[in-house]
Amino acid sequence: MKPFTQASWSSSLWSRGVRLLGGGVIGLMSFGCLARQHGQPPTHPTPAPITISDDGAHPRPPFRFAPSDAALLDEIQHASFQLFWHGVSPDTGMVYDRTSSDVISIAGVGFQLAAIPIGVERGWITRDAGEQRTLQILRALEGEPSNRKAGLFYHFLEPHDASARRVGAEMVVSTIDSAIAYAGMLSAGVYFDGESRLIADRLFASADWSFFLQTPGDNGPPGRFMSLGWRPEADSDPTGAGELIGYSWIDSGDEHRLVTFMGVAATDASHRVPAKTYFALRRQIGNHPETGDMVWFPYSGALFTAFFAHCFIDYAHLGADDPSSMVSLPRPAVDWWENSRRVVNLHRARALENPEGVPTLGPNAWGLSACDSPGGYLVAGVFPDRVETPGLVQGRDFSSYVPSPRWGDGTVPPYAAGASIMFEPEASLAALRWFRELTDDNGAPLLWRDPGHGGFGLPDAFNLRSEGEAPWVASDTVAIDHGPMLLGIENARTGLIWSLFSRHPAVQAAESRLGLRDRE
């Protein structure tokens, strides 16, 4: 196995879990987050030329589904939920990162904590059972203080006691994985209240997001931004001396915004990230003829970078934001639900175009994203065409990096289209039904794994391969892939997780600080 070195840090790679180690390392320039750059940009402001908004042209969730579609969603959600209920450590109750591993990913736990209220509301578990499991997880996390630095969690934990764990070359506190963990924690705390709420609030109050702020370097946007994380000098002293990772969240992918939003939400003012940091994130504009303009993240075209934050933040009912109220930088106003809807349609359009003729892609097989593949870990993705906007400054307002599509080998992860039901329900449902009904040469389900026989529904990924080759189906189920699919479907149906998350006072305060308001 190749070690996961600092030189290969990337936003989305980092959040994928232990698959990183088995799949090798993807270099920073091919799929990085934010590299240190050189040269000092001008600081004069330029008016933002574009607003991303649909003016009410498209229906917003929750959606109404026909009985047959609702039955399909019930089946897929229930099977996915089984992973978060049964694929867990008996000691701490925390879900394993993937079915072939005993390591815990704190992001997977965040999705798990948000999944438990879904299980209760759907009648798959009792409220008492859900509350007891939530308490088991929260008590384990709070009871092991060595698993966090400045209140944010190590990426990987031991399953038996929730202590920090090294995986290969990685022993780091992760800001994005902690953000997902806290988003799930606050949602579960609101739902169960009582001791669950008290522990979740105590942990969140202890999180010092400002500790992770740093200046990203020359030729970037002005200000201080969240580091990807922190590394200790010694594994034996995980809360002692160490240093921040030298790369920062400075663009406006979903991970960037979720990390920054959680920092703005900090209940202790001394731990808080300034609201203007959220609006200083770069908002690079791209275009596809079938979708229109969109903000895009040039270092990754994976579809999950368009829906992770939407699992928790109810952008569907927030209007276009107003960067000009916070920063004198040329940042377009964006309705982030509409922006993600356009990114989803970009992926569908690119799958139909399929210029390299890779297998699998088609009308119901779309959504390139991070997943397992026949060759190991894969991060495929596509991009819009860059929109050259006069008056913007390279580095300060947009990245100089010009990406190329990564078509991969034709591997498609069902969770990408599944989570996209929050934006395009008809297309997502068609894809999910096709995945569910796909059969092999003998007429047996090719992808579906019956939860009645220990399966968790749809696999992490599959590849129909070229003619004459047997299809490939991933053997593992991965928590941070099943999680957004489960939450995304529930938000599309009822808005449950959006409602729970947005009811927390810290979240409401963050929305107020950011000037985010319900659409009129």
pLDDT digits (tens, 9 = 90+) for 389-414: 888 999 999 999 999 999 999 999 99
Q: Is the pLDDT of residue 1 over 50?
A: no
The pLDDT assigned to 327 comes to 97
The pLDDT assigned to 305 comes to 97
Residue 180 forms part of a structural domain: yes
Residue 58 forms part of a structural domain: no
Q: What is the mean pLDDT of residues 53-59?
A: 88
Q: What is the mean pLDDT of residues 217-227?
A: 89
Q: What is the CATH number of the domain that holds 359?
A: 1.50.10.140
The pLDDT assigned to 56 comes to 83
Q: Is the pLDDT of residue 180 over 80?
A: yes
The pLDDT assigned to 50 comes to 79
Q: Look at residues 239, 218, 336, 223 and name the one whose alpha carbon lies nearest to residue 273.
A: 223
The answer to whether 187 and 117 have CB atoms below 8 angstroms apart is yes
Q: Is the pLDDT of residue 36 over 60?
A: no
> In terms of residue numbers, what domain contains 475?
6-44+64-513
Q: What is the mean pLDDT of residues 457-470?
A: 93
Instruction: Band the pLDDT of 161: cuts 50, 70, 90.
Output: very high
Q: Is the pLDDT of residue 186 over 60?
A: yes
Provide the mean pLDDT of the chain: 90
Q: What is the mean pLDDT of residues 282-310?
A: 96
Q: What is the mean pLDDT of residues 286-306?
A: 96
Instruction: Band the pLDDT of 520: cuts 50, 70, 90.
Output: low
* In the chain, % of residues over pLDDT 70: 90
Residue 50 forms part of a structural domain: no
Q: What is the mean pLDDT of residues 207-212?
A: 98
Answer whether the bond into residue 62 is a cis peptide, omega within 30°. yes
Instruction: Band the pLDDT of 43: cuts 50, 70, 90.
Output: very low
Residue 79 forms part of a structural domain: yes
**How many domains does the structure of the chain reveal?**
1
- CA distance readout (Å), 484 to 262, 312, 513: 18, 10, 27
Residue 54 forms part of a structural domain: no
Classify each residue of 458-481 as buried b or exposed e, where b means 16 or more C-beta atoms within 10 Å of its C-beta. bbbbbbbbeeeeebbbbebbbbbb
pTM: 0.92
Residue 52 forms part of a structural domain: no
Q: Is the pLDDT of residue 115 over 60?
A: yes
Tokens of 62: 């929750």
Q: Look at residues 187, 190, 105, 203 and name the one whose alpha carbon lies nearest to residue 154.
A: 105
Q: Is the pLDDT of residue 232 over 60?
A: yes
Residue 55 forms part of a structural domain: no
Classify each residue of 213-244 as buried b or exposed e, where b means 16 or more C-beta atoms within 10 Å of its C-beta. bbebbebbbebbbbbbbbbbeeeeebeeebeb
Q: Is the pLDDT of residue 236 over 70?
A: yes
The pLDDT assigned to 35 comes to 35
Q: Look at residues 30, 3, 35, 7 and name the one whose alpha carbon lies nearest to residue 378.
A: 30
Q: Is the pLDDT of residue 5 over 50?
A: no
The pLDDT assigned to 253 comes to 95
Indicate the residue type of 371: C
Q: Is the pLDDT of residue 4 over 80?
A: no
